[in-house]
């Protein structure tokens, strides 16, 4: 029997992660924040790599190749913000790739396409000099005006062709870095990036650039047409940010109380910014596809997490089929590194991906039981329901009654969305449920929406466009006749960030929704991540029990073990 080929991908940007491929398939992957419990944690990668090795039961000597990616530097193999796991593995081959290339390979590796175009749009990619050092053979693909520039330029957006084996850049846009200052809109990104623009407006509205998704959640409360100036312009096919928009805003948020007092103002700013991003994304991708047409498109980079813009892109029908990479932000860099190693470096054929984005380890019954032997957890009285059909019927009944359930099953999701492995679940239509979860469980702003998880074959019953959306990365409109029944998962403007659930890689979650449907006639559950504000999504049984204890959650279900308050 042939020895397996293991390739490790590691991302050392913020949102650090590690991913292990076995013979071209993902066998395990984890984001560093899930282990350190520090949101968006990056830097040294030893902890995430050790998690992957332990989960698979292998050692460094079993790896065929390591591929790594940082942002502004090429990491030393031995030390990077501390000693690395490779320091004593002198014979292990380590390859470096650039930022946007890693984003692009993360998309093609998990996509259903054997050939496609790939678009990457984010806040900031690799510096040009680093890109050329890593990929000297690709200088021919860089426009002369960038090569002749005498200041640091970084990747802004990149467009590739994937032939089934290798990515070839077709268009790469670079921008100088934004100047750092005390200005309200100072950016840690390139001067002309869509991602940087969105982060700067988020900072203006919330005083926080790390959770730009809040801006998308706020925008539906605003009014279109409040502002009539443009943030972006296109020149010769490239996107630029107009600095003039910054002069229009001079009232930054001064804390949550101030934000609430001026809620309508900030909602209008968010609405304007969201619509600017939607137009810019569509125009940018349209421009590339007009020059290099293809029926299949992969889309990645941090901007590709904007579910509203994604729906507009899909509705524009500029490609027959679009794959939105679920881990589109920097947490997906490790995934792209691993697939680069398999496809490009080793020249191995692409292995079809099963659609799952759940790459974490599964915790055994004995590991779950062991958490209750700890002194702090002996106050709980867990019970077990070993029959799966009985378990989902029981949980569906409790959800019907209005109970909230922390649902901890199998390996955790890789990426920013909980998809039924590490989720908080509730009834989508019970009065005030949304407010209760925001206030007493998530401890977050009351305007934040929740997602509907719906059986794949029932999505058209409840949502107008019936989008296939397994990764909660596209919005739809709730059908008028179901707005009341789905009030907790329908946003202010009638939109919903839908998750279509399928049995092939999410079997127990699908069974639970089916059981809820049998009892209520509704094939939809409220689904949100198993965490509270400021906390990474729960990874371990210990963390799940801790969260259960400090919030107003009613029930915790870990595999077949149940805790109730």
Residue 208 pLDDT class (50, 70, 90 cuts):
confident
pLDDT at res. 179: 75
Based on the fold, state whether residues 186 and 45 are members of the same structural domain.
no
Number of domains in the chain: 3
**Which residues are within 8 A (CB) of 105 and not within 5 positions of it... i.e. 6 or more apart?**
97, 167, 335, 336, 337, 339, 340, 343, 344
pLDDT above 80 for 1: no
Judge whether 22 lies within some domain: yes
Residue-averaged pLDDT of the chain: 95
Give the CATH number for residue 430. Answer: 3.90.870.20
Based on the fold, state whether residues 472 and 341 are members of the same structural domain.
no
* Residue after which a domain boundary falls, among 310, 345, 380: 345
Based on the fold, state whether residues 84 and 118 are members of the same structural domain.
no
Which DSSP string do the residues of 520-549 spell out, in sequence order?
HS--EEEEEESS-TT-PPP-SHHHHHHHHH
Judge whether 353 lies within some domain: no
Based on the fold, state whether residues 457 and 534 are members of the same structural domain.
yes
pLDDT above 90 for 187: no
pLDDT at res. 207: 84
Judge whether 127 lies within some domain: yes
Based on the fold, state whether residues 338 and 301 are members of the same structural domain.
no
Judge whether 480 lies within some domain: yes
Based on the fold, state whether residues 152 and 296 are members of the same structural domain.
yes
Percent with pLDDT over 90 in the chain = 90
Report the pLDDT averaged over residues 42-68.
98
pLDDT above 70 for 151: yes
Burial class (CB in 10 A: 0-12, 13-18, 19+), 352: exposed
Based on the fold, state whether residues 299 and 339 are members of the same structural domain.
no
pLDDT digits (tens, 9 = 90+) for 377-434: 999 999 999 999 999 999 999 999 999 999 999 999 999 999 999 999 999 999 999 9
Pairing of strands 232-235, 383-384: unpaired
Q: Do 414 and 360 contact (CB within 8 A), yes or no?
A: yes
Report the pLDDT averaged over residues 475-490.
98
Judge whether 360 lies within some domain: no
Percent with pLDDT over 70 in the chain = 98
pLDDT digits (tens, 9 = 90+) for 289-311: 999 999 999 999 999 999 999 99
pLDDT at res. 177: 86
Judge whether 418 lies within some domain: yes
The segment with the largest mean pLDDT, out of 191-195, 234-238, 362-366, is 362-366
Residue 71 pLDDT class (50, 70, 90 cuts):
confident
* Residue after which a domain boundary falls, among 283, 315, 345: 345
**Of the candidate ranges 1-15, 176-190, 210-224, 540-554, the one whose mean pLDDT is the lowest:** 176-190
| Range of the structural domain that residue 411 is part of | 365-564
76's tokens: 């030393």
Q: Do 443 and 533 contact (CB within 8 A), yes or no?
A: yes
Based on the fold, state whether residues 285 and 340 are members of the same structural domain.
no
Any idea what the Cα angle at residue 198 is, between residues 297 and 477, rounded to 5°? Answer: 60
Judge whether 556 lies within some domain: yes
Based on the fold, state whether residues 240 and 339 are members of the same structural domain.
no
Report the pLDDT averaged over residues 350-360.
97
Based on the fold, state whether residues 88 and 128 are members of the same structural domain.
no
Q: How many helices (H) and strands (E) does the chain have?
A: 17, 21
Residue 533 pLDDT class (50, 70, 90 cuts):
very high
Burial class (CB in 10 A: 0-12, 13-18, 19+), 386: exposed
Any idea what the Cα angle at residue 431 is, between residues 428 and 432, rounded to 5°? Answer: 95
Based on the fold, state whether residues 341 and 380 are members of the same structural domain.
no
What single DSSP character describes residue 2?
P
Token pair 């308050």 in the structure block, residue? 565
Report the pLDDT averaged over residues 207-221.
85
pLDDT at res. 2: 86
Q: Do 365 and 560 contact (CB within 8 A), yes or no?
A: yes
CA separation, residue 52 to residues 201, 320, 565 (Å): 37, 36, 34
* Residue after which a domain boundary falls, among 270, 292, 324: 324
Report the pLDDT averaged over residues 428-452.
97
Give the CATH number for residue 121. Answer: 3.30.420.40
The strand pairing partners of 12, in sequence order, are: none
Judge whether 329 lies within some domain: no
Residue 190 pLDDT class (50, 70, 90 cuts):
confident
Based on the fold, state whether residues 55 and 90 are members of the same structural domain.
yes
Burial class (CB in 10 A: 0-12, 13-18, 19+), 72: middle
Strand arrangement of the beta sheet that strand 405-408 belongs to: 383-384, 561-564, 555-558, 405-408, 422-426, 524-529, 451-455, 495-501, 474-477
Report the pLDDT averaged over residues 324-347.
98
């Amino acid at each position: 029997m042939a020895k397996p080929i293991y390739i490790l991908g590691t991302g050392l940007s913020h949102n650090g992660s590690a991913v292990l491929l076995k013979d071209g398939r993902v066998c395990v992957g984890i984001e560093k924040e899930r282990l350190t419990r520090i949101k968006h944690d990056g830097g040294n990668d030893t902890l995430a790599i050790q998690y992957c090795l332990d989960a698979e039961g292998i050692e460094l000597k079993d790896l065929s190749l390591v591929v790594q990616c940082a942002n502004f530097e090429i990491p030393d193999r031995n030390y990077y913000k501390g000693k690395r796991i490779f320091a004593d593995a002198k014979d292990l081959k380590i390859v470096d790739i650039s930022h946007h290339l890693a984003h692009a390979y993360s998309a093609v590796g998990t996509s259903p396409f054997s050939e496609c175009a790939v678009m990457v749009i984010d806040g900031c990619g690799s510096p040009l000099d680093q890109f050329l050092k890593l990929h000297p053979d690709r200088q021919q693909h860089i426009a002369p005006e960038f090569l002749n520039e005498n200041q640091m330029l970084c990747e802004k957006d990149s467009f590739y062709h994937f032939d089934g084996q290798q990515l070839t850049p077709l268009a790469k846009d670079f921008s100088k870095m934004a100047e750092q200052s005390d200005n309200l809109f100072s950016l840690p990104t390139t001067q002309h990036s869509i991602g940087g623009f969105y982060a700067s407006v988020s900072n203006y509205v919330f005083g926080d650039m790390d959770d730009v998704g809040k801006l998308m959640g706020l925008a539906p409360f605003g009014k279109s047409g409040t502002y009539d100036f443009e943030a972006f312009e296109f020149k010769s096919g490239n996107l630029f940010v107009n600095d003039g928009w910054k002069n229009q805003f001079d009232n930054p948020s001064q804390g949550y109380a101030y934000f609430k007092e001026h809620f309508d103002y900030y909602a209008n700013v968010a609405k304007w910014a969201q619509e600017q991003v939607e137009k810019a994304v569509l125009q940018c991708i349209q421009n590339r596809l007009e020059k290099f047409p293809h029926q299949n498109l992969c889309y990645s980079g941090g901007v590709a997490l904007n579910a509203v813009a994604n729906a507009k892109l899909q509705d524009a029908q500029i490609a027959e089929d679009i794959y939105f990479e679920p881990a589109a932000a920097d947490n997906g860099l490790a995934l792209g590194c691993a697939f680069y190693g398999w496809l490009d470096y080793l020249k191995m054929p692409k292995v079809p991906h099963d659609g799952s984005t759940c790459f974490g380890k599964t915790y055994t019954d004995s590991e779950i039981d062991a958490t209750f032997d700890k002194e702090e957890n002996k106050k709980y009285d867990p019970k077990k329901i070993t029959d799966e059909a009985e378990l989902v019927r029981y949980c569906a009944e409790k959800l019907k009654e209005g109970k909230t359930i922390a649902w901890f099953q199998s390996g955790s999701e890789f990426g920013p969305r909980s998809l039924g492995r590490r989720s908080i679940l509730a009834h989508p239509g019970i009065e005030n449920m949304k407010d209760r979860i925001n206030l007493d469980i998530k401890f977050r702003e009351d305007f934040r929406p929740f997602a509907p998880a719906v059986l794949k074959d029932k999505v058209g019953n409840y949502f107008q466009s019936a989008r296939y959306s397994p990764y909660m990365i596209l919005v739809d409109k709730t059908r008028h006749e179901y707005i009341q029944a789905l009030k907790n998962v329908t946003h202010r403007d009638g939109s919903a960030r839908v998750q279509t659930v399928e049995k092939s890689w999410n079997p127990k979650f699908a069974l639970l929704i089916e059981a809820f449907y049998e009892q209520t006639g509704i094939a939809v559950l409220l689904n949100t991540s198993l965490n509270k504000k400021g906390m990474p999504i729960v990874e371990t049984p210990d963390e799940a029990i801790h969260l259960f204890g400090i919030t107003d959650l009613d029930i915790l279900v870990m595999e077949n073990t149940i805790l109730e308050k």
